[in-house]
Amino acid sequence: MKRTWLYWLVAVCLLGMVGVGSLWGYRQYKRKRDQMWESAGKLPLARSLGDEEMMRFLVGENNILHSEKILLPVVRQLNLVEAFHVSDEAAAMERLRERSEVRKVDSSSVVLSFRDHDRELAGKISSVLGGVFVRAHNTPGATDDGSSGF
C-alpha cells in the first residue's frame, strides 16, 4: 500500500513537471513567433527643428516615405510580393507602409525604420528603403513639394 502511494506521488510529480515544461516551451515559442525585429538608420537634418516644426516635418517625411515613388522601387528590387507572400505589388506596398516610419531622435536627426518578423529581411528592406528615400531627397524635384530636410 505504501509503495502504491509512492508510485502515484512520483507519477503526479512527473506529470506536473512535463506540464510546466510544456507550458514554458509554448510561451517561448509564441514569444519568438510574435517577435518583431526593427532595423533603423539615423539621418541627420540640415538644421535643428523646434517641436512644432519637427512634427510638421515628420508628417511630411512619412507622407513621402509612404508614397508609391519610394515604395514601388523597393518592392520590385527586393521582390517583396514573394517575400511577404502577398498577391500583388499594392499589397506589398501596404505592408511596407504599415511597418515603416520616420521618427524623431532629437532636434537635429531622425530615424528611418522598418519592422518585420524576419531579422534579415528587416535589415535588407531598411537599407534599400533608406537608400531610395535619401536618393529621392537628393534628386531635384523628386518630392512633391521639392523640399529637402537632409
Sheet holding 37-44, edge to edge: 37-44, 109-116, 100-106
What does the angle CA 108 – CA 96 – CA 146 come to, to the nearest 5 degrees?
50
Residue 148 has a pLDDT of: 47
Q: pLDDT by residue (tens digit) across 95-122?
A: 999 999 999 988 888 999 999 988 899 9
| Beta-carbon-side half-sphere exposure of residue 52 (alpha carbons within 13 Å) | 0
Question: Per the structure, how many domains does the chain have?
Answer: 1
Is 66 part of a structural domain of the chain? yes
Residue 12 has a pLDDT of: 78
Residue 146 has a pLDDT of: 44
> What are 149's three cell numbers?
530636410
Is 9 part of a structural domain of the chain? no
| pLDDT (tens place) for every residue of the chain, 150 residues total | 667 877 787 777 777 777 777 777 777 766 666 677 888 888 888 888 888 999 999 999 999 999 999 999 999 999 999 999 999 999 999 999 999 999 998 888 899 999 998 889 999 999 999 999 989 888 765 555 444 455
CB 134 within 8 A of CB 43: yes
Backbone angles phi, psi at 32, to 5 degrees: -65, -40
Measured distance CA(126)–CA(73) in Å, rounded? 13
Measured distance CA(27)–CA(81) in Å, rounded? 31
Residue 82 has a pLDDT of: 95
Is 41 part of a structural domain of the chain? yes
Is 111 part of a structural domain of the chain? yes
Closest by CA to 115, choosing from 32, 31, 38, 33, is 38
Residue 147 has a pLDDT of: 46
pTM score of the predicted model:
0.70
Measured distance CA(150)–CA(123) in Å, rounded? 22
> Whole domain around residue 68: which residue ranges?
37-138
Is 11 part of a structural domain of the chain? no
Is 92 part of a structural domain of the chain? yes
CB 61 within 8 A of CB 146: no
CB 113 within 8 A of CB 100: yes
